[in-house]
Amino acid sequence: MAFAINEINRNSNLLPNMTLGYTVYDNCVNLGIGFRAALSLASGREEQIILDNTCVGNPPIIGIVGDSSSTSSIAISNILGLYRVPMVSYFATCSCLSDHRKYPSFFRTIPSDAFQVRAMIQILKHFGWTWAGLLISDDDYGLHAARSFQSELNLSGEGCLAYFEVLPSEKNADEFRRIVEVMRKSTARVVIVFAYESHMINLMEEVVRQNVTGLQWIASEAWTAAAVLQTPQLMPYLGGTLGIAIRQGEIPGLREFLLQIRPILHHNSSYGNSMVNPFWEFTFQCRFAPAPAGWVEGGGALCTGQEDLKNVDSEYLDISNLRPEYNVYKAVYALAYSLDDMLHCKPGRGPFSGNSCATLQKLEPWQLVYYLERVNFTTPLGDQVSFDENGDALPIYDVMNWLWLPDGSTKVQHVGEVKRSAFKGEELILDEDKIFWNFESKKAPQSVCSESCPPGTRMVRKKGEPECCFDCIPCSEGKITNKSSSCPEDFWSNPQRDQCVPKKTEFLSYHEPLGICLTATSLLGTFICAVVLGIFIYHRSTPIVRANNSELSFQLLLSLKLCFLCSLLFIGRPRLWTCQLRHAAFGISFVLCVSCILVKTMVVLAVFKASKPGGGASLKWFGAIQQRGTVLVLTSVQAAICTTWLVSSSPVPHKNTQYHNDKIVYECAVGSTVGFAVLLGYIGVLAFLSFLIAFLARNLPDSFNEAKLITFSMLIFCAVWVAFVPVYISSPGNYADAVEVFAILASSFGLLITLFGPKCYIILLRPELNTKKVIMGRVTES
């Protein structure tokens, strides 16, 4: 702190024409003493200082750097917060201090325990350690860390605690013995400790006594760099420890500043001498005059104050591992930059009431808090320093590893870091090749309550134990892996239950026997229609063709051909266009067919009536134009029904997984059930009218036996489609398509055979009956 203030005072760009001073209080690791010091600073009752004749009195306190412990910081911040005196701690990590409403003037340059906890959980996750023990100190630091750790662990779902113990503050041998016994019996190989060096010393004494080895320790920043634990007696147990450490920094010029310290330079400050003299006497093994009795007689040397620190090996001059010191350095600079920002305020543009600025002569602590909340600067090391809404600095930790060298010496080496950035969030960076593992395998240990379930099995939690402890049982169908995760919708588990494989697909295919048979039958019907049409065209001038309304017969054969062909749209994998076309083609083709039959029946009836005396007028309503118009109008109605259906609720392909769990049945969803019902109903109405008229005309003379053929054909047609409806509704998947194709083919063949079979028989096999004389003879006989 003294070096930072000295550096700031020599910096012409930071706080020019201003000199910073400081007062140091020792809290003696005692809450009461630290509390009284804070009250003294806040109330202005500390002893007066005299720099020269023009500077006498109580110095203005603009901020406090400290305290080091969380417990002291909590108590002191409760008081300083009332006065809004800014306090910047360099070592208090309790996450509870992040409550800026409760501690409005508290800031810190060390990350909160909440971030340290998340850093530890990231390490656990990285190495797959899901089963660990937690030890904490019996104070605010440990208790808040434990609460935060358990909360974060539950949220992450990355592991469980095998045990949770509180290390006593005093040396309680029975309690330490019990805790170490719990550690020894536990199956957890990883131990996380949030405690101070003093707690660890007492704990390790019992660990050594019970010879508990094979543990992987994870240290909080409070003891990661504790040299007192890095001894030949403890390294067999603590070697390989992974620890979270405060960010190491470099402070250029610090060593040279330390070398300038001389006791004689502080002759005006009894407090300065009280700090320096014992250190000087210990370092150089001398005593300042007056020396204790017998010191000189015993060969002891007297200190002159001119001894050279360069000639001794002292930790005081070791600046290779500046961690809390670097946080102190940043804390002093944070206060200085805040004060500098305040002094750069332009009158009339200030942040306070009436756009006023704060002045040094009338500086209120809360005004500096305002600037401290917004301070933002970069250290010579390149670290950015600013505070968030909770008073916490941007968090970054080093990950350290305790290396036990072959010669018995120890080294705490840097193996990674955990940091949070605005762009990447929180990230853990580890150099695993550098990590020393204190195990025979020289590899990271395993620490799990239960081994991961093998493929094809799933976890079942053991009753009364944490969720990390489980048994493995075989997965049910459709689920895989040790977590029994369900396969995606289009996938299913293989017989081994270790991976998802695509579900089998099912539809009425051209490649399966049923599809081949239906396709062949459809093509056969089409071919027969073509043959019959060819026969009728070839023999179109014969009496039997002419007598049976050749034009309607040709139209009927063409519509039957379309009926046979439309059945092919029901075979193959459903596509959007086939789903939309299949029912439309089916409905229009059959309406065209049944319309021809209906008109043919009506013509037969009209011809018979015309043969009676006075019945000639009935034929004028059934001329060729009227016949074509009737067929066209009746077919157009069905076309309109199909168009309305397709536009309002079109049939679409559908993947049905309801029939079989391991199969996908591809089918066409009709879209609108009403539309499908109207389409079938319209065909049924026309077929019923044809049947009814033909039935009424069944007793006509033999020369007009076409009515009997139509009656029989319509009877077959109606029987097929009446049977179709219940069978179609009850048939699943591709069988529904097969049922519809079968109904189409059966009814088409029924019409083809009953209507054209007898005529083809006469044309081909009994040509002697295909004469006008025979036809007219029968009429005469009638």
Span 147-202, pLDDT tens digits: 999 999 988 888 999 999 999 988 889 999 999 999 999 999 999 999 999 999 99
Whether 715 and 743 share a structural domain: yes
Whether 686 and 600 share a structural domain: yes
Q: How far apart are CA 410 and CA 157, in angstroms?
A: 35
Encode pLDDT of 474-515 as tens digits: 776 655 554 456 777 777 777 766 677 787 777 888 888 888
Pair of tokens at residue 164: 């949770």
Q: How does residue 351 score in pLDDT terms, banded at 50, 70 and 90?
A: very high
Q: By residue range, what is the domain housing residue 680?
A: 513-774
Domain limit, last residue, from 356, 382, 408: 382
Mean pLDDT of 48-69: 70
Pair of tokens at residue 108: 């810190």
Q: How many domains does the chain have?
A: 4
- Flag whether 272 is in a domain: no
- Flag whether 42 is in a domain: yes
Whether 533 and 601 share a structural domain: yes
Most confident range, picked from 48-62, 309-323, 521-535, 767-781: 521-535
Q: 271-285 as b/e, with b when 16 or more CB fall inside 10 Å?
A: eebeebbeebbebbe
Q: pTM value?
A: 0.57
More confident residue, 54 or 458: 458
Backbone angles phi, psi at 220, to 5 degrees: -80, 170
Residue 599 CA: distances (Å) to CA of 324, 465, 632, 714, 755? 105, 83, 11, 13, 14
Mean pLDDT of 108-134: 93
Query: pLDDT at position 323, please?
Result: 87
- Flag whether 100 is in a domain: yes
Whether 193 and 75 share a structural domain: no
Bridge partners (DSSP) of residue 202 are none
Encode pLDDT of 199-230 as tens digits: 999 999 999 999 999 999 999 999 998 989 99
- Flag whether 307 is in a domain: no
Whether 690 and 594 share a structural domain: yes
- Flag whether 466 is in a domain: yes
Query: pLDDT at position 290, please?
Result: 84
Mean pLDDT of 584-602: 86
At 338, is the secondary structure helix, strand, or coil? Answer: helix
More confident residue, 735 or 73: 73
Pair of tokens at residue 720: 């097929």
Query: pLDDT at position 487, please?
Result: 73
**Cβ-based neighbours of 309, under 8 Å, separated by 6 or more:** 258, 259, 261, 283, 316, 317
Whether 412 and 376 share a structural domain: no
**Cβ-based neighbours of 508, under 8 Å, separated by 6 or more:** 514, 515, 518, 570, 571, 572, 734, 737, 738, 741
Pair of tokens at residue 677: 């019902």
More confident residue, 106 or 661: 106
Helices 513-538 and 550-566 cross at an angle (nearest 10°) of 170
Q: How far apart are CA 242 and CA 377, in angstroms?
A: 31
- Flag whether 452 is in a domain: no
Whether 26 and 162 share a structural domain: no
CATH number at residue 224: 3.40.50.2300
Whether 420 and 488 share a structural domain: no
Whether 559 and 416 share a structural domain: no
Mean pLDDT of 250-255: 90
Using the structure block, give the residue that is written with the tokens 């239960």.
450
Whether 175 and 190 share a structural domain: yes
CATH number at residue 599: 1.20.1070.10
Average pLDDT taken over every residue of the chain: 84
Query: pLDDT at position 265, please?
Result: 41
